[in-house]
Structure formats: structure tokens, C-alpha cells
Amino acid sequence: MQKMIKGLKCNRYAVDFDTREIEQEHHDVVIIGSGIAGVYTALDISPEYDIAILTKQTIEISNSVLAQGGIAVSLDKKDSPELHFNDTISAGAGICNEESVWVLVNEAQKNIRQLCKYGVNFDQGSKGELALTREAAHSMNRIIHAGDTTGKEVCDKLISVVRTKKNVEIFERTFVIDILTEDEDDRCIGVLAYDEDKGAYKAYYSGVVICAAGGFGRLYRHTTNPEIATGDGLCMAYRAGAVLTDMEFVQFHPTVLHHPENESFLISEAVRGEGAILRNKYGRRFMPAYHEKAELAPRDIVTRAIFEEMKKTDSPEVYLDITFKEKKYLEARFPNIYRTCMSYGIDISKDMIPVAPAEHYCMGGIKTDIYGRTRIKGFYACGEAACTGIHGANRLASNSLLEGLVFGHKIGSEVSAILKDRSECDAGKPSVEVRGKTRTRGADISYKTPRKKLEDDHLSARATIRSLMTEKVGIIRSGESLASAMADITKLWEKYSGARHEGIDEVEVENKLLLAMIVTRAALMREESRGAHYRTDFNKTDDEKWKRNLDFIRDTDG
């Protein structure tokens, strides 16, 4: 069941522009983002079509690259897609889209085989089979991996392949600001972007746009996400009229390195999968008191347990203990974690690892069907930017990379079929030019305005957003904390949404504020606790009233 909510009033476009006055390019397909979802989708589109990949920084920087644990797939003789389905549904706490989950688990194997054909080197067992490990809330060993840098291995291989494709052009340091649409039917005709190297706006026209721009971890003070994860893809989709759903469900990873020099380095769940134990500052193991599965309980439960234990012991951290494993084993199984911890003077074969929770993944996003289609014709979404309904209220470990692969493949097939019918999608040949008039204040902007240095008020706004979201819309929430956050964010929104933007720094701040308001409002509306959304004033799950999704759409009256 869904509940559609008229969302916040905001301008249709984030900046003033006129496509007649800026540089234009035409492509069959535009893909926003260069993580696993975006690059894999590009490889699955027929090579006869011209594809542009637009990425905010360099192509190597994405959330996907930082993924450590692996990819979930049922390969063991004792395992099955049905068991994988059941584990995913269980972790999702009652609001997964079962059709999407069935697609995920049934199409996993063929996409993993394709990765192997692209040259991805997953770890192997003694007989040459893919090695399998277990992570929290999985009933079987089904996580394939490449050491503890699975995301990087997959991304490196996919990027190396996509660079050889003559039909794919990569545009780095290109900040996509908004989706261009025809007003009369909201058909997507391309995107407006900002070329950071040229210091100029540019229109990329296309009949197909695929958003794989990632999540919004940078709304929080501590996150495993890179600097680019500011939710820009969700905001441009929302402004264009797409639906955002499940936005209240934000997953915090329970074990992130807690060190003065690094509070964003992930200590993979696979470490607990290999037997690591959580201990408090007194050296006592505490997880069995919180859940029967102890360290392998679902992520939201482990995260809240750590949060409570830190509060009980008045400590900013707990400790992950895997010292019972031999040094040689740890160096081979977790080489990146071992090296990184050693660089901070922590020998994980002898020392416990100081850890604390940090924001990791957003279950919500741009609402799509199983083919990645949104409510805007010609506009698709996949990866963390999308919400296919797979994760429900709490993502099952190692399903995210798989989701990007499975649904990237489905989008690739769908788009290839559509592009064959030029009457269905006249790709690269828009019938209209687009002008976006967003502000009434100030003079017309220059289209060659360089990205200016962040001013003090922008830095202050970013810091305020991170503090509010962490302290009031974080792991433990309440009606009081959420209402307080909403009031404070609204004041900032009224200030920034009324100012004319002269650079992408301002757009990023407004995007963060827009998402902060939507996440907070969704959390305030959901008067229950479910999965990653936990409220002290409604600490039980209420299926009768809240076994549903909250869908947000822009208030066009404004």
C-alpha cells in the first residue's frame, strides 16, 4: 500500500538558464553517475547507440568503489533464490516490493557470470569455485567477494571495459543540475549540467536519461560516503515531478572506524561474518543481550545496540575483536582493512578495532518499476538513487551492488528496445528549447561563472544540516527531535531557496536542505518503529496503520 503526499514547494529548476544561450550536445542516452549501476547499464545498452556518462568528479569516484563486503548471490547447493528472497523480505521489515525482490534473486546469477566475463577477479575456493562468506541477517553463506575491496575490483574492471567502447563518451567534473522536460507532457529531453573545467553551463539533449547518481550520506556528520554523495540525483528528479519514496529509512552501518584521523572508513560486515565479536569499553561482549543472532543480527539492531552500549558506558566507541584469527589469515582476507588500521597504529591481529556507527545507505529514492522506469517518460533510475522497493525498511547486506547490476541490466535491455522505435523515443532530437526562470531577485546570471569558493555561510549551512540530521534525525528519533529539526531546517530552506544561485555550491546546499526536509517530514509522519526508522515515542511496529510506503511528489502549486 502506498500513501501519496504532496511534498514541499520548490522551483522547477535550481538555476536560471536558457538553452539557446549555452553550449548543446545531442546523445541517444545520457547516464548520470559512474558507479557500478551507471557503468554496467552503459555496457548493457546496444553499442549502436551514442551514450554520454556524466560524472560529478572523476569516473573512479563513487560509493560503489568503497563497497567492501561483496555481492549476495545464491550459489551454494544448500542455498536457493527462495532463501535469498526470504532473507531480503525479513530484513525489509514488511514493506519490500516482492516482485522486485524476486527479480533480484532470480537474475543474480546471470549478472554475476557477466561480471566474471568482464574479468572481475572474485576470491575462489580450493576447487576453483567462487568463495562464499556470510554477513548479517543472511541464513546462508552467499556473499562473493574480492578480498575486502569488492566494489573497487568490480568498478575498475567495468570502467576499463567501458573506456574501450567507441559509443560511450565520459564527461568528468560535470555536475548535473536538473532534468530537462517538455512542459506539456513532462517527457524527459535531456539534462542541464555545469562543466567545472570550463566554468560554463551546458545542455545535454537526449530522449533517454538514466539517473545512477548515488545517495545522500553527506547529509550526516559521519558517513562512509564520499564527498560527492549529496543527493543531487534525487533532487533533480523531485523538481521534475518524479516520486521519492521510503525516504525516512536511512541505514547506519554499525562498524565504522572511530579514530581522530578517520571516522569514515568502513570495517566490513564480513569481519563479523568471519566471527568478530563486539565488546564495550570494559571488554564485555554485549550483542547476545540484544538479539539471538548477536553480531549477525540485522544492521539496524546491531547499530542501535552499539548506540545504547556507548550511552550506557559513556563512551564514544565500542570495539570489534577478531584477534583470535591469525595475522596471515587477516592480511589475506582483509588486506585493505588490515593495512588501513595498521596505518593508524592498530594491528587487528593483536588489537581490538575502535568502531562506531555512521550513515551508510539510503533505502529510499526515486520510485521506479522493475525496468527502472519513473513517472517521467524517458527518465530512468537505478542503484542507490532509485527505490525499486527491494530494501524495504532495512537493506540486507550486500544486496546493493547486486541491485545496481540486475536493474542496470534490465534498463539497458529496455532502453535498447525503445531506441529501436524512433517514434516511441526520438532520442537526441528534442522538439523544444528550454528556459528555466527560478528567481525574481538579482541580475541575470553569467553562463561562464566559475565555481566560486564556498563562502562562510555555505560552510555554516552544511555544518548545520549535518548536525541537525545526526542529532535529531539519526539512529534514534522522537517526535520532539524531528519537529525541532523540521523547524530549524525550514528556516534555512526559506533563506536559501529564495536566493539566486550563481554556482553549484549553492545548488548543493539547496539540494541538501530539500532532502533534509523530505527525510525529516517522512520520519515525522511515520508514527511507528520499523527497520532503520526507530522512534522512542512510537517504539513498536504498527502494521495496521503503517505497513505502507510514503510517496512524495513536488507541490506544483508553488
Q: Does 288 reside within a domain?
A: yes
Catalytic residues: 299
Q: Which of 452, 442, 464 is nearest to 505 (CA)?
A: 452
Q: What is the pLDDT of residue 101?
A: 98
In this structure, are 276 and 127 located in the same domain?
no
428 inside domain: no
- In terms of domains, do 135 and 35 share one? yes
Residues 261 and 238 placed together within one structural domain of the fold: no
| CA dist., res. 529 & res. 157, Å (int) | 40
Taking the C-alpha atoms of residue 411 and residue 37, their distance in angstroms, rounded to an integer, is 10
Are residues 201 and 159 located together in one domain of the fold? yes
**Secondary structure of 162-187 as H, E, C letters:** HCCCCCEEEECCEEEEEEEECCCCCC
pLDDT recorded at residue 460: 84
Do 281 and 298 have their domain in common? yes
* 24 beta partners: 203
Same structural domain, 86 and 212 = yes
Q: What distance in Å separates the CA atoms of residue 157 and residue 439, rounded to the nearest whole number?
A: 44
Same domain membership, residue 261 and residue 154: no
Q: What is the DSSP letter of 492?
A: H
| 377 part of a folded domain | yes
Radius of gyration for the chain, computed over Cα atoms and rounded to the nearest angstrom:
23
Rounded Cα gap, residues 54 and 171, in angstroms = 5
Residues 66 and 212 in one domain: yes
* Structural domain ending residue among the three candidates 358, 378, 394: 358
Q: Residue 69 maps to which CATH number?
A: 3.50.50.60
Residue 73 included in any domain: yes
Q: How many domains does the chain have?
A: 2
Residue 96 lies in a domain: yes
Together in a domain, 110 and 223: yes
pLDDT at site 9: 72
Round to whole Å and give the CA distance between 323 and 350: 5
In a domain, 519, yes or no: no
- Return the pLDDT at 366: 98
Verify that 303 and 279 share a domain, yes or no. yes
Answer whether residue 19 is part of any domain: no
- Can you tell me the distance from the alpha carbon of 472 to that of 484, in angstroms, rounded to the nearest whole number? 8
Please answer whether residues 361 and 215 qualify as being in contact, where contact means their C-beta atoms are separated by less than 8 angstroms.
Answer: yes
Spell 130-163 as b/e; 16+ CB within 10 A means b.
bbbbbbbbbebbbbbbbbbbbbbbbbbbbbebbe
Instruction: Give pLDDT, residue 1.
Output: 58
User: What per-residue string of b and e applies to 379-413 under the rule 16 or more CB within 10 Å gives b?
Assistant: bbbbbbbbbbbbbbbbbbbbbbbbbbbbbbbbbbe
480 in Cβ contact with 468 (< 8 Å):
no
Among residues 207, 213, 178, the alpha carbon closest in space to that of 438 is found at 178
Domain boundary among 337, 358, 379: 358
- Do the beta carbons of residue 356 and residue 310 sit within 8 Å? yes
| Phi, psi for 241 (deg, rounded to 5) | 110, 5
- For the stretch 244-254, pLDDT in tens is 999 999 999 99
Please give the Cα distance from 387 to 218 (Å, whole number): 19
For residue 399, how far is the Cα from the chain centroid? 12
Residues 23, 197: Cα–Cα separation, whole Å:
14
Asked whether 150 and 67 are in contact (CB, 8 A), the reply is yes
Q: How far is CA 348 from CA 273, 286, 334, in A?
A: 16, 20, 10
Question: What per-residue confidence (pLDDT) applies to 432?
Answer: 59
What pLDDT sits at residue 213? Answer: 96
Residues 338 and 404 in one domain: no
Extract the residue ranges of the chain whose pLDDT is less than 70: 1-8, 184-185, 422-433, 435-456, 498-502, 557-558
Question: At what angle are helices 479-496 and 504-525 packed, to 10 degrees?
Answer: 150
Q: CA-CA distance, 179 to 299, in Å (whole number)?
A: 34
Listed in sequence order, the residues at least 6 apart from 449 whose beta carbon sits closer than 8 Å to its beta carbon are: 199, 502, 503
Angstrom distance (rounded) from CA 177 to CA 504: 8
**Residue 327 shares a structural domain with residue 373:** no
Q: Of 419, 444, 465, which one is at a domain's C-terminal end?
A: 419
Q: Which residues, 6+ apart, have CB-to-CB distance to 146 below 8 Å?
A: 70, 120, 121, 122, 123, 152, 153, 154
**Helices 400-419 and 98-106: crossing angle, nearest 10°?**
90
- Which residues span the domain enclosing 111? 25-249+363-419
Strand arrangement of the beta sheet that strand 244-245 belongs to: 2-6, 549-553, 244-245, 365-367, 386-387
- Prediction pTM value: 0.92
CA distance 383 to 371: 12
pLDDT tens for 75-95 read 999 999 999 999 999 999 999
Cβ contact 69:255 at 8 Å: no
Whichever domain contains 296, its CATH number is 3.90.700.10
Give a yes or no: residue 447 inside a domain: no
347, amino acid identity: D
Per-residue DSSP letter, 449: -
**DSSP element (H, E) containing 361:** strand 353-362
